């Protein structure tokens, strides 16, 4: 049994923290919105008043938050986890989807303190997090990867180890940028279908059977037909545009223009302009309709 701190209890983090409890670990949690932490009362977790308090004497500290700013606050603030005096060799496991530059900066800070940094973004929906069936996309020193593997067992169906720190994040940003392009292009296609007089349910069915299908394309095209973007928000437009921006920044840092990626960013950015970026990412179709009209 390990002493684990878990920072961030959103749609993904909550399920992940509970999986670690079910695996027999001693888990102390912190969330900026205290009510989300309080909702876990009675589940076997201990609720901490700050990231620093959560991380005190921990063997490993996990973080699962929305963006760079939230991650920076969790780790680097005066009451952040790195201020807790973690013992040398403690695992710092960052599962959030963050910018490549911030991950490398954080990893440098962590390793300079004698701690072990695990770059560990995940792929999978909240139900996969709750069931311990995520895919973990890991970048870490090889020895650290093998040492941390037992702690990760409760969370995943599979670990894909890409190599050194930063490679897990690089892959996650690449694949999420691909996803943003796919979903935006499907939205544009569905607007075309509507304009051409096609039956949208039949169009969605045909897409699911064809070469353009992927799990997220199938999932989102059904939401576009149902027009229920404000219900059961699986992944918001706000999170999708954040990931896509981080992906474009990485691409440009590598000397790639990322024209398709930028087009997807622009489409999702319109959701914020319309005040609906907290709805499901499938509502990018609404932004395309507005431009089209």
Catalytic residue positions? 172
Collapse the DSSP code of 62 into the 3-class scheme (helix H, G, I; strand E, B; otherwise coil) and give the result. strand
pLDDT score, position 291: 59
Query: What is the CATH code for 3-163?
Result: 3.40.50.720
* Residues in a beta bridge with 93: 62, 118
Residue range(s) of every CATH 3.40.50.720 domain in the chain: 3-163
Q: Give the model's pLDDT for residue 289.
A: 66
DSSP-derived pairing of the beta strands 134-139 and 122-123: antiparallel
How far is 77 from 74, CA to CA, in rounded Å? 7
Nearest-angstrom CA–CA distance, 178 and 186: 12
Contact 200, 186 (CB under 8 A): no
The pLDDT score that the predictor gives to residue 288 is 85
Confidence (pLDDT) at 29: 98
Please choose, from the candidates 151, 153, 158, the residue with its C-alpha nearest in 3D space to the C-alpha of residue 4.
151
What is the spatial distance between Cα 257 and Cα 250, in angstroms, rounded to a whole number? 10
Reported pTM: 0.94
pLDDT for 233 equals: 95
- Classify strands 60-63 and 46-47 as parallel, antiparallel or unpaired: unpaired
Q: Residue 127 has what pLDDT?
A: 96
Mean pLDDT, each 10-residue run in order, the chain (293 residues): 96 97 97 92 95 98 98 98 97 98 98 98 96 98 97 97 98 97 96 96 96 92 97 96 98 98 96 96 88 53
Query: For domain 170-292, which CATH number applies: 1.10.1040.10, 3.40.50.1820, 1.10.10.10, 3.40.50.720?
Result: 1.10.1040.10
Write out the H or E segment, with its range, that includes residue 184.
helix 167-195
Q: How far apart are the first and last CA of the chain?
A: 59
């Amino acid at each position: 049994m390990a002493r684990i701190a878990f920072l961030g209890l959103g749609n993904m983090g909550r399920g992940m923290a509970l999986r670690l409890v079910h695996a027999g670990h001693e888990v102390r949690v912190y969330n900026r919105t205290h009510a989300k932490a309080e909702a876990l009362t009675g589940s076997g977790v201990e609720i901490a008043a700050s990231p620093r308090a959560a991380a005190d004497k921990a063997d490993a500290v996990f973080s699962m938050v929305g963006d760079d700013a939230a991650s920076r606050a969790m780790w680097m603030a005066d009451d952040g986890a790195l201020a807790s005096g973690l013992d040398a060799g403690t695992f710092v496991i960052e599962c959030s989807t963050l910018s490549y530059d911030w991950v490398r900066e954080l990893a440098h800070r962590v390793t300079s303190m004698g701690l072990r940094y695990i770059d560990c973004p995940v792929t999978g929906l909240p139900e996969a997090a709750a069931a311990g069936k995520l895919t973990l996309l890991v970048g870490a020193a090889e020895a650290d990867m093998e040492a941390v593997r037992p702690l990760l067992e409760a969370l995943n169906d599979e670990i894909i180890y890409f190599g050194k720190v930063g490679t897990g994040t690089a892959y996650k940003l690449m694949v999420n940028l691909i996803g943003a392009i796919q979903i935006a292009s499907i939205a544009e296609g569905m607007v075309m279908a509507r304009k051409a007089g096609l039956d949208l349910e039949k169009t969605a069915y045909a897409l699911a059977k064809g070469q353009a299908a992927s799990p997220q394309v199938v999932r989102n095209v059904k939401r576009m037909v149902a027009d229920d973007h404000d219900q059961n928000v699986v992944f918001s437009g706000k999170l999708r545009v954040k990931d896509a921006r981080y992906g474009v920044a990485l691409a440009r840092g590598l000397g790639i223009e990322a024209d398709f990626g930028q087009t997807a960013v622009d489409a999702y950015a319109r959701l914020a302009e319309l005040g609906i970026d907290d709805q499901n990412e499938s509502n990018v179709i609404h932004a395309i309709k507005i431009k089209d009209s």
